[in-house]
Structure 1
Amino acid sequence: MERRKFITATAVAVTAGSISTVLAATTEKKGPVYNHYLLFWLKKDLSEKEVEDFTGFFKILSTLPYVKSIQYGKPANSSPRKVVDNSFTYNLVIQFGSLEDLEAYGKLPVHLAAIKKYSVYWDRMIVHDSILS
């Protein structure tokens, strides 16, 4: 085989192998994920600094056991539509490996203390727990 054809064939084989490895990894079933999704509407009279300081709540939660992943943010500036509700101040997504982990997390003293400390910041908070496959 000519050198150029050999190099091309090798590159195609390596690329195809890499793609199939990535596809296998992304489609592999790893069991359900328990998703803990929260929306926070902070009080209107908070200063910008207080709104920013509220992220300390998320930082505390990120250190707790049982948490597989945690992300938080503010509403996206997406186009207004009837189905879009961007009225909240922050959202939080925490994922757990089992319902037992989610339930144990909810009872941790540090979790309860963080809620007590930061609940004075919000007017409204709502939780959606779901199982993701």
Structure 2
Amino acid sequence: MERRNFLKSAAAAGLTGTLLASCTPLDDKGSMSSNTIAKGTILHSVYFWLKEDISQEEEQDFLHFFEELRKVPGVQTLQYGKPASTNPRPVVDNSFQYNLLVTFQNMEDINTYETHPTHTAAAEKYSKYWTKVEVKDTTIM
């Protein structure tokens, strides 16, 4: 019985390792890479503070804003979420309601995004839901 349990555990561990390895991205030389964001990538991070009196339906409608932005040419990845429940510390600001993270291959792509009609129209349409927006752009080194 002990041998059978050991064999099951060993098989499960082997399968898990294989699955995790298959999820690891490859770098430009075909080697496994631990960094999934390439050097020179632009990380566009946007923080949204929504109006206090917003209804659940309005908040759900606001989320369509992010889906509209996916349509803009040059967007590599687009993800969004709410503040994590991290421990309170003087350096942590969890006062925003949503964070949008978009990656672009280069400055040309983010410059196109900033002025693209789909982006500007969506911002105009959904801006009725927020009181404050902060943008922080980073070039990955």
Q: Per the shorter chain, which TM-score range?
A: 0.7 to 0.9
Query: Is 1:46 aligned to 2:50, yes or no?
Result: no
CA distance in 1, matches of 2:87, 2:56: 24
Match of 2:130 among 114, 117, 122: 122
Query: Is 1:26 aligned to 2:68, yes or no?
Result: no
Query: Is 1:72 aligned to 2:93, yes or no?
Result: no
SS at match of 1:69: strand
SS at match of 2:68: helix
What is the total number of aligned residue pairs between the two structures? 117
Matches within 5 A, 1:94-105: 94-105=102-113
**Which deviates the most, 85-94 or 44-53?**
44-53
- Judge conservation of contact 2:45–2:99 (CA < 8 Å) in 1: yes
CA distance in 1, matches of 2:135, 2:38: 25
Cα 1:27–1:77 shift into 2, 3 Å: closer
Deviations 1:41-69 (A, max 9, x none): 00001012211221100000012210010
Q: TM-score, normalised by structure 1?
A: 0.79
CA distance in 2, matches of 1:22, 1:99: 24
Q: Residue type matched to 1:110 in 2?
A: T
1:30 to partner: Cα distance: 4.3
CA distance in 1, matches of 2:44, 2:38: 18
1:102 to partner: Cα distance: 0.3
Q: CA RMSD in A?
A: 2.4
Q: Residue type matched to 1:31 in 2?
A: K
Q: Residue type matched to 1:111 in 2?
A: H
Q: Which residue of 1 aligns with 2:65?
A: 57
Q: TM-score, normalised by structure 2?
A: 0.74
1:22 to partner: Cα distance: 5.8
Unaligned runs of 5+ in 2: 1-17
Q: Residue type matched to 1:115 in 2?
A: A
